[in-house]
Amino acid sequence: MAGYQGNSDFDACTLPKDYEDLRQSVRSLAEEQIAPHAHDVDEQGRFPKEALDALRQAGFDAPHVPEEYGGQGADALATVIIVEEVARVCMSSSLIPGVNKLGSLPLILSGSEELKSKYLTKLANGEGMFSYCLSEPEAGSDAGGMKTRAVADGDHWVLNGTKCWITNAGESEFYTVFAVTDPEKRTRGGISAFVVEKNDSGVSFGAPERKLGIKGSPTRTVNFDNVRIPADRMIGEVGTGFTTAMRTLDHTRITIGAQALGVAQGALDFAVEYMKERKQFGKAIAEFQGLQFMVADMAMQIEAARQLVYAAAAKSEREDKDLTYFGAAAKAYASDVAMKVTTDAVQLLGGYGYVKDYPVERMMRDAKITQIYEGTNQVQRIVIARSLLK
């Protein structure tokens, strides 16, 4: 995948051949090795180990890790395409590459060379996944209201607190954790970031949340009870954690847009094929103009979202000044489209769309989370408005 690096001057309407070849490779893998397990993963609420194994073998589980740490060095657009194509068949599985990027990007943005060499190499080698610990029971949209504390103790920091809604918690070996190091300063230099390992003494996990969708991706609380962290596991300097957290989300909200694109495309693809085969009143329902209008709208909305997500990916790669705006816009628009398209797909299938024998009801349930996590779409609109009005 070394060819997919730094090519951020593309025309989103006509992607370079390398990216289209990548799409076909990921689509083939997803359809052959991930899709057959998607229903069972959802029904049993189990982690998609088959997907993890397949993605690791192909180098798609953490493709963003730079080559100098043993990774593929995929740029932002290549990562978006990988997540999109996996989400097209299984949203839970798409959270493997998506959350690996979310959890490890703070190291790439702010970590010391020693920290990057140690943990990014392990991630690239498949020695463990990475999760991102920002939200707390009383600090979701208001991340700056976090209560988890880190107190210096010699050449260590001691962490106490709870993080909630942590994706892949318990499955991941490594966690980027944000904690208050100066209660007076808080978001203005009082929050720091650390790497915590699953087996560190004092780390524990709550029971898996019982969720509407993405049931194959475990979501749990992570508890820290006097967890002693060596000082060299701090990401960046003391007090820079909140800035790192927000910079990370500017980049990774685009990945949520990619998930939304994938699940929407999967729902449309299934609905179109169903319409060609399903007959009512003596002809295929694809011949009914009212339903034709529905799929036309679905296709237009998906393509508009794709152009926005891909443009945001290019801005992420270049670190353009308007990345915050475009990251928020891509996430909000694509996820709103995903919710509408998957709901319409259920409607197109009628009674069949409402039962678990067909995948569109799962896709609709899975799509909903893209409007919520990594910042609700209401928060994204605040971000967008502030970018316009500042």
Residue 9: what pLDDT?
52
Residues of the chain with CATH 1.10.540.10: 17-124
Q: pTM higher than 0.85 for the full model?
A: yes
First and final CA of the chain: distance in angstroms?
A: 40
Residue 390: what pLDDT?
87
Residue 373: what pLDDT?
97
Kindly provide the b/e burial profile for residues 257-276, where b requires at least 16 CB atoms within 10 angstroms of the residue's own CB.
Answer: bbbbbbbbbbbbebbeebbe
DSSP label at 350? G
Q: Which fold has domain 130-239?
A: Butyryl-CoA Dehydrogenase, subunit A; domain 2 (2.40.110)
Q: Mark whether 374 is an active-site residue.
A: yes
Residue 14: what pLDDT?
74
Backbone angles phi, psi at 174, to 5 degrees: -125, 145
Q: Which fold has domain 243-389?
A: Butyryl-CoA Dehydrogenase, subunit A; domain 3 (1.20.140)
- The string of pLDDT tens digits covering residues 64-84 is 999 999 999 999 999 999 999
Q: How far apart are CA 263 and CA 222, in angstroms?
A: 28
The residues pairing with 11 across neighbouring beta strands, listed in sequence order, are 14
Q: 87 is written with which tokens? A: 């989400």
Residue 123: what pLDDT?
98
Residues of the chain with CATH 1.20.140.10: 243-389
Residue ranges of E strands in the chain: 130-133, 149-153, 156-167, 174-180, 191-197, 203-205, 219-230, 234-235, 279-280, 283-284
CA dihedral in degrees (254, 75, 112, 237; nearest 10)? -30
Q: How far apart are CA 88 and CA 84, in angstroms?
A: 6
Instruction: Give, for all 390 residues of the chain, the pLDDT tens digit.
Output: 444 444 445 445 579 999 999 999 999 999 999 999 999 999 999 999 999 999 999 999 999 999 999 999 999 999 999 999 999 999 999 999 999 999 999 999 999 999 999 999 999 999 999 999 999 999 999 999 999 999 999 999 999 999 999 999 999 999 999 999 999 999 999 999 999 999 999 999 999 999 999 999 999 999 999 999 999 999 999 999 999 999 999 999 999 999 999 999 999 999 999 999 999 999 999 999 999 999 999 999 999 999 999 999 999 999 999 999 999 999 999 999 999 999 999 999 999 999 999 999 999 999 999 999 999 999 999 999 999 998
Positive or negative, the CA dihedral 240, 241, 244, 250 is: negative
Domain range 17-124, CATH class: mainly alpha
193-199-203 Cα angle (round to 5): 60
Residues of the chain with CATH 2.40.110.10: 130-239
